[in-house]
Copies of this chain bind each other. A is one copy, B any other.
Amino acid sequence: MAVYTEVTDEALAAFLTDYDLGSMVAFRGIAEGVENSNFSLRTTAGDFILTLYEKRVDPAELPWFLGLMEHLAKRGIVCPLPVRGRDGAALRHLAGRHAAITTFLPGVWPRRVRPEHCGPLGAALAGLHLAGGDYQPTRRNALGPDGWGPLLARSGGRADEVRPGLADELRRTLDGILAAWPDGLPKGHIHADLFPDNVFFLDGRLSGLIDFYFAATDILAYDIAVCLNAWCFEADFSFNVTKATAMLRAYNATRPLSDTERAALPVLCQGAAIRFLLTRLYDWLNTPPGALVTRKDPLEFLRKLRFHLTAGEGGYGL
């Protein structure tokens, strides 16, 4: 669930007077998302999403995220478009938080991924990478390879509380991934968290991408690796190569992958798996009882990581 901050109706009404959005019609907290507080907001001007930025987001980085979304939307990527207030600013304050209103995107995220979702996903991801090409400001990927060692250190020896031997396995595996991490691959702005709940479909077509608050400037093919982890494993953690092939072919048709990018897929996938394993591990060990957020099992990504360690370049069906 994701409503951490309560907004009074008076505060919201006052906030809306800074926009040309008419008056309030409806306002409900949205259960999806775990990082920020999100509300579905209807005004006499239409439907919007109100986001209050919570603890994990650095306020100094918010203009970069909002600027990226605006840039992408202008280039035809269907993503939330930040709505500017009368004074031209999209980033504002409400209820003691940084806040922004963005456009509402129709569509439904796929609770159960089917192969026919994966082609449109690949094409949309490649389109996102191309459209971001001329967005000048950059953002370091705090959850990229440089961050994984410190992240593991923060969970420390406690990894073994989740599974005996896990700390040692992670340390050794991470060392191997970092030693093999590729250099010189094409970089750009990546979504970095394009899980199914961030991709909407409508009438069988991809209708929008949301939640850009992990976006960063990093290896483009790493974004593909995130998606292979997020979209191509079945509930039993078997890898579905049909889904991977559909995603990779569609990506490649829009933005052709170089031989070095293809060759790097296994280690990029290992990196993506350990990245989500490490953040989930930390959250698992540090989520207080009674918290509003469901803890996600870090060991799911251990299963995926082990697949990637043995898959080889041919294992992804491209």
Contacts and interface: CB of A to CB of B under 8 A. Distances in A.
A9 B110 contact: yes
Nearest to A114: B10
A185 interface: no
Interface in A61-107: 104-107
A9 B108 contact: yes
B3 A31 contact: yes
A23 interface: yes
B202 A25 contact: yes
A8 B290 contact: no
Contact of A112 (B8, B105, B108, B112): B8
Contacts of A233: none
A6 interface: yes
A281 B106 CA distance: 41
A30 B30 contact: yes
Given A9-B111, A112-B8, A112-B9, A106 B26 contact: yes
A2 interface: yes
Q: Which 5 A-B pairs have the closest CB atoms?
A: A1-B1, A289-B289, A29-B31, A8-B111, A27-B108
A123 to B, nearest CB: 19
Interface in A186-221: 201-203
Interface residues of A, number: 40
Nearest to A39: B31
A67 B81 CA distance: 42
Interface string A255-291: 0000000000000000000000000000000010111
Nearest to A49: B28
Nearest to A110: B9
Contacts of A17: none
Interface string A1-40: 1110011111010000000000111111111100000001
Given A3-B31, A29-B30, A31-B1, A23 B290 contact: no
Nearest to A2: B31
18 contacts: A1-B29, A1-B31, A6-B111, A8-B112, A9-B110, A24-B108, A25-B107, A26-B104, A26-B107, A26-B108, A28-B30, A28-B32, A40-B40, A42-B106, A287-B290, A289-B290, A290-B294, A292-B294
Interface string A103-132: 011111111100000000000000000000
Given A30-B30, A40-B40, 14 more contacts: A8-B111, A9-B109, A9-B112, A24-B108, A26-B104, A26-B105, A26-B107, A27-B108, A29-B31, A30-B31, A287-B290, A290-B291, A290-B295, A292-B294
Contacts of A290: 287, 289-291, 294-295
Contact of A25 (B3, B40, B106): B106
A9 B295 contact: no
A104 B292 CA distance: 26
